[in-house]
Homo-oligomer: A and B are copies of this chain.
Amino acid sequence: MNRRDFLRSTGMVAGALLISNSVQSFESKLKYKTMRNKYLKLQLSFMPYTLQLRHVFNLAKSSRTTTPVVLIKIEYDGFCGFGEASMPPYLGESHESVIKFLQQLNLAQFSDPFLIHDILDYVENSMNGNYAAKAAIDIAINDLTAKIAGLPLHKIWGLNPAKTPNTSFTIGIDAPDVVKLKVIEAEPYRILKVKLGRENDKEMIETIRSVTDKPICVDINQGWTDRLMALEMIHWLKEKGVVIIEQPMLKTNFDDTAWLTQHSPLPIIADEAFHNISDLERLKGIYSGINIKLMKCGGLTSAREICYLARSYGMKVMIGCMTETSCAVSAAAQLSPLSDWADLDGNLLITNDPFDGMKIIEGKVTLPKQAGIGVVPLKLKTEIAKFLY
């Protein structure tokens, strides 16, 4: 019997059973799945891709127009899980390092994608670091297994898709006229995020305030050096309708940050200071909360664990992203009902997203009903679309 006939015959048997009793049919489906597992292996494939940014991305210490990513597929039994590694240069990963990481993996040793813990332990222990590459595998395995289960990932995790937070839209540092344009472009969003930490911080805020009164999160990207000046600035920002301060001072400056958190009328969130679960305990009491990004913490499984741990510490959780396609952003969005704030606009900052996925509707993260992380490759005539289809 060839593969197609086999699929057909098992499908027919499962179909017949569905008619008589739905519980039984699921068990039969599982039985066939188990029979078939013996002959099936996880198949990993990947393709490097370069994201084109809609605007030049100006941070306190750098600027750029592209972000390298690697898109991956893990295939099993006619199902396909998608994953993505996004490599902003300051985190040290690259096309080369991610490809090298993926090439040394042997996922074909696994004949059951549901052994998520074993698979991720193997991936984790195969090399140190490489968090973005590891996140790609983690996202794809979670997407794949949820697709096999026929459920959106948030549903498997028992999360309410109605409880996703509003997401902020990032306004890069720029000339006042460009800033005003960007604010208008951000019209559907209920919260703005502004990158500060330069000489013209107050001017930037005033420019935004001249066109909108939306709440603002400010991301200082470690730009402030004096805690007294920082506190004074926070009081000024609060009067201007700022609601969150992200990474105000150097990530290594625990003493001044703890002092600032203690005195600040606004929550102070760790971004550069927080990478993965091993950082969390020492940030307790130093920051009010953390910004979790899949590419820094190694993926969804770890991010979910961090959410629960942070909440047990009484810390706030923001779910953020890099510039990335709808793949990684939609993955993070599945987790967002566990967060206090979302900053999931990475896919909106690029012009060549090969996926359709999570949407921001009236400023709110809106999860697709599809199984898995909820992304579908767009039907384009590009190399990457051919790879994804």
| Stretch in contact with the other chain, from A96-104, A166-174, A304-312 | A304-312
Closest chain-B Cβ to A357's Cβ sits at a distance in Å of: 15
Answer whether residue A291 sits at the interface, using C-beta atoms and an 8 A cutoff.
no
Which B residues touch A18, using CB under 8 A? 11-12, 14-15, 18
Is the pair B308, A30 in contact by a Cβ cutoff of 8 Å? no
Q: What is the total number of copies of this protein in its complex?
A: 2
Please judge, given known A-B contacts A11-B19, A15-B16, whether A30 and B117 are in contact too, CB under 8 Å: no
Which B residues touch A308, using CB under 8 A? 305, 308-309
Instruction: Choose among B27, B118, B150 the residue that contacts A26 (Cβ–Cβ < 8 A).
Output: B150
Interface of A is mostly: helix
The docked-state distance in angstroms from the alpha carbon of A156 to that of B114 is: 7
Q: Would you list which residues of chain A between 21 and 59 have a CB under 8 Å from chain B?
A: 21-23, 25-27, 29-31, 34
Is the pair B15, A147 in contact by a Cβ cutoff of 8 Å? no
Is the pair A151, B114 in contact by a Cβ cutoff of 8 Å? yes
Instruction: Choose among B8, B29, B155 the residue that contacts A114 (Cβ–Cβ < 8 A).
Output: B155
Which B residues touch A11, using CB under 8 A? 18-20, 22, 25
A residues with a Cβ closer than 8 A to B are 7-8, 11-12, 14-16, 18-23, 25-27, 29-31, 34, 77-79, 114-118, 120, 145, 147-151, 155-160, 163, 277, 281, 301, 305, 308-309, 312, 337, 369-371
